[in-house]
Amino acid sequence: MAGLAFVFGGSEGIGLAVAERLVASGRRVVVLSRSAAKLDAALVRLGTGALARAVDVSDPLATRAAVDVLVAEVGVPGLVVTTAGYARPGYLEDLPAEDVTGMVTTNLLGTINVCRAVLPHLRASGSGTIVTTSSMAGLAGVFGYTVYSATKFGVIGFSEALRREVRPYGLRVLVLCPPNTLTPGFDEENRHKPAEVLAAEESVATLAPEAVADALVRALARRRGFLVVPGRDSRLAAVAIRHLPFVVDRALRRPEASSG
């Protein structure tokens, strides 16, 4: 799997695990993230096969400038993976306005900003793959994740439309839909989850970021498909969401408030 890859959100979690797999496969990798300190730590893990650049994907001009400079320095990537994003659980009425805006700006607009920045270069090269990151919460709305689910549904819709838009240029688009994954971001989520959400998730399996990265690497090798759903349980859930929505609706329903 030789070539050059840009991994946005590659300083930790799923993005870092993906970057590690790509470096191990022989790719040159550039990891991009807001935090210079986290990027420095990531480079220690990734070794000499990686470079790092600090950029905030919520800033469209900065994102485009960073991509243009990197292309001039190291070339056009054959693979672009964007994993930057975060979740702040909470019921809609309780979420601070800054968290609503932040999730929409980072998760959805950040994805769009990255794709807008890299697309001219990929189109000119006549080949390449873009991987966006949604979530299982982008396949079925989850109570306590109202705004997060909206952003991740948006990523899937955007990616589906983009896939059809860029296919004539020889470009491929995949969207990664991981379940709960044991990342630093997930630890932060747990500190904000309502009790009902924590209780509902007790029986839900979580994956290591390395397992998510492995699923993506396998999907890239297949050269076909669109949705990448890591984990057997998650794939079964994705089938149920599509074909048995009434079952999923019961499973994901918020418990009735107790009386008295």
Active-site entry in 11, 148, 193, 234: 148
**Catalytic annotation present for 193:** no
**How many Cβ atoms sit within 10 Å of the Cβ of residue 222?**
9
Who contacts 86 (Cβ-Cβ below 8 Å, separation ≥6)?
102, 103, 106, 107, 185, 188
Residue in 138, 19, 163, 28 with CA at minimum distance from that of residue 87: 138
Active-site entry in 145, 152, 159, 234: 152
Q: 146, exposed or middle or buried, with CB in 10 Å at 0-12, 13-18, 19+?
A: middle
Residue in 22, 144, 10 with CA at minimum distance from that of residue 84: 10
Residue in 63, 66, 67, 80 with CA at minimum distance from that of residue 4: 80
Active-site entry in 134, 135, 149, 234: 134
Query: Could you tell me where the beta strands, DSSP code E, fall in the chain?
Result: 4-8, 28-33, 50-54, 79-82, 128-133, 171-176, 227-228
As annotated, the active-site residues are: 134, 148, 152
